[in-house]
Structure 1
Amino acid sequence: MNDFVGTRDLIKLYARRDRVKLPVGLLIMVGIVASSVTGFAKLYTTAKERTDFANGVNGNAAQLFMYGPVVRTDAAGGLVAWRTAALGGLIIGLISLFTVIRHSRGEEETGRAELIRAGVVGPRAQLAAAVAVAVVGNVVTALYLALTMGFQGLPWGGSIALALGLGATGCVFAGIGAIAAQLTESARAARGIASAVVGAAFLLRALGDAGKHDLSWVVWLSPIGWTERLHPFADERWWVLLLAAATTALLTAAAFALNARRDLGAGLLPDRPGPATAAPGLRTPLALAWRLHRPALLGWSAGFLVVGAVTGGAGKSIGDQIDSSSALKEVFENLGGHGDLVDAYLATAMGTLGLLAAAYAVQAALRPYQEETAGRAEPVLATRTSRIEWAVSHLVFALLGPAVALAVGGLAAGLVYGASTHGIGHEVPRLLGAALVQLPAAWILAALTTALFGLAPRAVQAAWGALVVFLLLGQLGGAFGWNQKLLDVSPFTHIPRIPAASLSATPLLVLVLVAAALTAAGLAGFRRRAVGS
């Protein structure tokens, strides 16, 4: 039998299963790019303003670390490429590798792959279909990105180059995800390995951009840096796309070679079985939940540490960049008042941390659903552990985990910014408070996830859709002048913009009450419904 027979039918099946997830990823990418185009067009209307801003970026190590350099300094397209190349590569890379792992290793772990292989399906068809869905998704995303930028007035050549660069980055990470799926027996472990590779790629790109000139070659070791080296809207280097295509082909071929060397359901890395009996510290549901949530909490906290430090490092010079644009200066003065431009920037940065914390909250709040669908919840609930006790043990980390991550990010920003201004004692409390004030909005997402888990478990993934809606409202709402009533749908709209504005307790209290009501409804629903329904 042909090794790839049935691939076409599996592509249709996987595309149907991802009919929501892939469009959500597409919306995120289009939203980021569209808001960048509109924002830069409004804020920097002359070539001199764009050049002054770009020179400020290229002279700031923190912003180079986060986004890379501006290659074309006098054109709006150059600023858009700077803003979206690294961030977009990171997002599309994660989406691509998660897609491949979900439809390859994830299918094997749940046992569905064995059922599919019992039919007229070749042994390599599932991996081929998983990679094909990810690649087609990246091609479609690149098409929409190019059209978005082109119809917004940017040069078509640069628009196509940037879109293809981001799509090619996604394809490379699809190949990395395919290899990770061959290594372990667990989809979770495969995602961890692949995510670590993405993090390393982003770090290599960041070190190469923020370091001295003798380290610039390091960027070539990172697929995330290749879009930057493509030079969209400047002297486009189209041959970089060939590098990405060749790398994707090699990684995919390596994944198929590894797939042929293992049995269905097995991984190439040896499995490490745990002890025959649980440790005394795992006697309670909360202790078990801590064991399950600990890796994610540590990983998210490390990410918040880096983002917070970069935010604080950029604070000292951000005022000069704001002064380079009268429109941008007016925007930040409206946010924070005259003379508080840096505070307004810091408030915006803390709002970004709040969105990231909300993503962590959704991930943590989804863990009970994952335990239930994997069949691990029933053995626990068969003991004296009550449903509410079990669900609350996970909910604790959905509520306190974001608090820990935000505290780490706020402390890092305060220490770095305070050190640069010789005012650590003054800045640390301000930025720590600015970070922690985002908590009620993140709790809304955790509570919404809990409500869906208890009342409509089949729709629980809609919590990610709600987060995307809030992200797009924040990214596009202000840039396109959307109605304030629409913007008020997002809980982040009601968060006081500390330290640029004064603290108002009323909206925070309302958000907490709404989160409490949603959580109570979700727990009540879970208590009544059948487990596994």
Structure 2
Amino acid sequence: MNEDLTATGALVRFALRRDRVKLPIWIGAIGLGMLYAVSALPTVYSTPAERQVRAGLMDSPAAKMMSGPGYGLDNYTLGAMITNEMVLYLAIPAAMMSIFLITRHTRAEEETGRAELIRSAVVGRHAATTAALIVAVIANVGVALLTALAMLSGDLPATDSFAVGAGIGLTGLSFAGIAVVTTQLTEHSRAASSLAMAAVGAAFLLRAIGDVSQPGGTLLSWLSPLAWTQQARPFVDLRGWPLLLSIAVLVVTVVIGYAVSVRRDVGAGLLPPRLGRADAAPSLSTPFGLAVRQQRVSFIGWAIGLFVFAVPMGSLSDSVVDAVADNPQLGEVFTASGQDPVDAFYSTMALFFALLVGAFAVISVLRLRSEERTGHTEAALATSVDRRRWFFAWLGFTTLASAALLVISGLGIGLGAVSGAAGPGTIAELTVGTLAFLPAVMVVAGVAAALFGVRPSASALAWIVVGYAVFFGMFGALLDLPDWVTDLSPFAHTTAAPLANLPVVPLLILTGLAAALAVIGSTTFRHRDIETT
């Protein structure tokens, strides 16, 4: 076994060297998210009465689906508020960081051929995977410490604070273990990441359904690694054993990953690739057809996931009416924006799904970078294909796919709402209202496209825009932020319901901004050298 781990230390140092910028950004962003919440929430909810009004909101089915089971609502302290409303949305980025880290240092290295080159030296079979896991442990320990220290800065109990930090870090590591398995199954890094991210989506859905079904969650909740930190009940009735479940998942998945790795060749996956056609389809003769072919599986997966998630979310609109009727103070919270409570709920749901589609748009645009690194772009441009045609073909697919996903999301919310007491016209209204977020989504895609044109290695910085929009879009009202802070997000200038309040001028401005960013990306891409690995 020691021979299998030869040169692990060297690979750890190499991985840390490569990720010397990415990992501090990930870790710092998660830590700063917790620090901001700890700093802002006591100002916004400074009295027990104000916190209890917030607790009434969090006791609704919609809030439980979005945030968690809601422990400690009868005495809503700052610690309970953070655990209920923030932990889930910090654990998900920790999971994403871990998945991308494992995939980047294992399957991506095999796909590009670097792993075979390294393995030709004195390097053990399991050294790369072990090195990636060690780096993942280092990164998640950093996340755990920063989030715990952020909570300590708010004078919260130390034991519970470190339990929350450990829970977020262990959640990240549990999905690192899942990524170890998915990287063994397929020969492509993109597919391995997609499978692991699908596990994150499934975990969120299981937790959401389980937490809504009954107080404290059901068995479905316990099947989700995203639920275990909240199930430890920090700041309410701390119990540490649920956190051990994340360690168990890590151990089991790593053992499975190592066992599977010895059953395949370097560069190959356990699942054999499907044989293709003898002749290419006519659609592949165009850049747009190639873009569709390369991303169709990803698009179908996103479409199914968003629709399945949107229908139950829309069905919760009745619970908002009941909650407002039972709690007049809660009604004041909902109507603070001037909207009817149900319209406010629909707008929030549409915003949530638009943010998810924004993430898809960035992933889709970043495929341009992947095509360039693998040499596909260079091969295509060696023919009569113009650079601008190549660029706008991929960006055109992103636009059409994003529009379709927004329509599917709005349709799902509308169908869910109609299953309750909403009228049939709600379906069309929510479909159009959700589609109104397309200009905002395309601004995010335009940022990624412009960065790709200027410097491909910087294109991933577009995730900062998505992260900013998610955090301030979902928590801006909670933290009572100045308008200019939330207005920096392109998603802050659209409301899905009612359609009569749809802001036309901001949508036109966002559309123009997205077009300008696309032109910048196209122009700079046209005049720079093609980069390959």
TM-score, length of structure 2 as denominator length: 0.89
Residue 29 of structure 1: how far off its partner (Å): 3.2
Per the alignment, residue 225 of structure 2 pairs with: 223
Q: Cα offset for 1:213?
A: 8.5
Matches within 5 A, 1:453-472: 453-472=452-471
Does the C-alpha gap of structure 1 residues 472 and 241 become closer, same or farther in structure 2, counting only changes over 3 Å?
A: closer
Residue 31 (structure 1) shift: 5.4
Aligned 8 A contact 1:44 1:325 in 2: no
- Distance (whole Å) between structure 1 residues aligned to residue 493 and residue 196 of structure 2: 36
The separation in 2 between residues aligned to 1:478 and 1:263, in whole angstroms, is: 52
Q: Structure 1 stretch 494-503 or stretch 408-417: which is displaced more? A: 494-503
| Structure 2 counterpart of 1:18 | 19
Aligned equivalent of 1:308: 310
Tell me by how many angstroms 1:141 deviates.
Answer: 0.7
CA shift in 2, pair 1:254/1:503, >3 Å: closer
Alpha carbons 2:148, 2:165 under 8 Å: kept:
yes
How do 1:356-375 and structure 2 match up within 5 A? 356-375=356-375
Q: For residues 481 and 17 of structure 1, do their structure 2 counterparts lie closer, same or farther at Cα, with a shift above 3 Å needed?
A: farther
After TM superposition, give the deviation of residue 137 of structure 1 in Å: 1.1
**Partners of 1:248 and 1:274 in 2: how far apart?**
36
SS at match of 1:366: helix
Aligned-pair CA distance for 1:56: 6.2
CA distance in 2, matches of 1:129, 1:113: 13
> Does structure 1 conserve the Cα–Cα contact (< 8 Å) formed by 2:494 and 2:502?
no
Per the alignment, do residues 459 and 49 of structure 1 end up closer, same or farther by CA in structure 2, a change over 3 Å counting? closer
Given that 2:414 and 2:430 are in contact with CA atoms closer than 8 Å, whether structure 1 keeps it comes out as: yes
The equivalences for 1:92-107 within 5 A come to: 92-107=94-109
Compute the RMSD of aligned alpha carbons.
3.1
Following superposition, the deviation at residue 473 of structure 1 comes to 4.3
Residues 38 and 150 of structure 2 are in contact (CA less than 8 Å); yes or no, is this contact kept in structure 1?
A: no
Cα 1:455–1:185 shift into 2, 3 Å: same
Which secondary structure does the structure 1 equivalent of 2:160 belong to? helix
- Report the alpha carbon displacement of residue 174 of structure 1 after superposing the two structures with TM: 0.8
User: Partner amino acid for 2:8?
Assistant: T
Structure-2 residue corresponding to 1:189: 191
Give the residue type in structure 2 aligned to 1:2.
E
CA distance, structure 2, for counterparts of residue 125 and residue 348 of structure 1 = 46
Counterpart CA distance in 2 for 1:228 and 1:192 is 26
How far does the alpha carbon of each residue in 1:176-205 deviate from its partner, in whole angstroms, 9 at most, with x for none? 111221222211222233233333333333
**C-alpha distance in structure 2 between counterparts of 1:167 and 1:464, whole Å:** 21
- 1:103 deviates by 0.6
Letter paired with 1:408: I
Q: Deviations over 1:344-400 (max 9, x none)?
A: 333233223232222111111111221111111223223333222222221112212
Q: In structure 2, what is the equivalent of residue 4 of structure 1?
A: 5
- Can you list the C-alpha shifts for 1:432-488, whole angstroms capped at 9, x where unaligned? 233122111111111122222222223222212233334444456656665544544
Change (3 A) 1:42 1:169: same
Measured after TM superposition, the shift of residue 515 of structure 1 is 1.2
**Alignment of 1:68 onto 2:71:** no
Q: Secondary structure at the match of 1:262?
A: coil
Query: Any residues of structure 2 matched to 1:59-458 within 5 Å, and which?
Result: 60=61, 62-73=62-73, 74-76=75-77, 77-211=79-213, 216-319=218-321, 321=323, 332-337=334-339, 340-425=340-425, 427-458=426-457
Counterpart amino acid of residue 21 in structure 1: K
Query: Following the alignment from structure 2 to structure 1, what is the Cα–Cα distance between the partners of residues 455 and 96?
Result: 27
CA distance in 2, matches of 1:450, 1:521: 8
CA change 1:307–1:220 in 2 (3 A) is closer
Task: Extract unaligned runs of 5+ from structure 1.
Answer: none
State the alpha-carbon separation in 2 of the partners of residues 328 and 298 from structure 1.
38
* Closer/same/farther in 2, CA of residues 306 and 433 from structure 1, 3 Å limit: same
Q: What SS does the corresponding residue of 1:70 show, helix, strand or coil?
A: coil
1:491 maps to a residue whose letter is P
| Contact 1:378–1:531 under 8 Å retained in 2 | yes
1:277-308 CA distances to partner (integer Å, 9 max, x unpaired)?
21234332222211112122222222322443
1:79, distance to aligned residue in structure 2 (A): 3.4
C-alpha change, 1:441 and 1:454, in structure 2 (3 Å) is: same
| Letter in structure 2 aligned against 1:15 | L
> TM-score by structure 1 length?
0.89
Residue 495 to residue 29, structure 1, CA distance change in 2 (3 Å): same
Percentage of pairs with the same residue: 39
Letter aligned with residue 108 of structure 1: E
**Residues 378 and 206 (structure 1 numbering): CA distance in 2 closer, same or farther, change over 3 Å?**
same
522-531 or 195-204: which moved more? 195-204
Per-residue CA shift, 1:398-450, capped at 9, x if unaligned?
A: 2122211111111222222244233121x223322331221111111111222
Whether the aligned pair in 2 keeps the contact of 1:43 and 1:328 (CA below 8 Å) is no
Q: Is the 8 A contact 2:100 2:193 kept in 1?
A: yes
Partners of 1:323 and 1:353 lie apart in 2 by 27
Alignment partner of 1:461: what SS?
Answer: helix
Change (3 A) 1:485 1:198: closer
Unmatched segments (≥5 aa) in structure 2: none
1:253-285 Cα shifts (integer Å, max 9, x gaps) = 332233233332222222333223212343322
Distance 2:474 2:438 in 1: 20
Shift in Å at residue 49 of structure 1? 6.2
| 1:32 positional shift | 5.0
Moved more, 473-482 or 163-172: 473-482
1:194-249 CA distances to partner (integer Å, 9 max, x unpaired)? 23333333333334333368992333333223223222222222122233223322
Return the letter of the residue paired with 2:319. Answer: S
The offset of 1:519, in angstroms, is: 0.8
How many residue pairs get matched?
A: 529
CA distance in 2, matches of 1:460, 1:504: 30
Q: Is the 8 A contact 1:158 1:234 kept in 2?
A: no
Distance 1:314 1:38, change over 3 A: farther
Between 1:112-121 and 1:165-174, the stretch displaced more is 112-121
Distance 1:329 1:149, change over 3 A: farther
CA spacing shift, 1:382–1:262, aligned 2, 3 Å: same
Choose 506-515 or 219-228, whichever is displaced more.
219-228
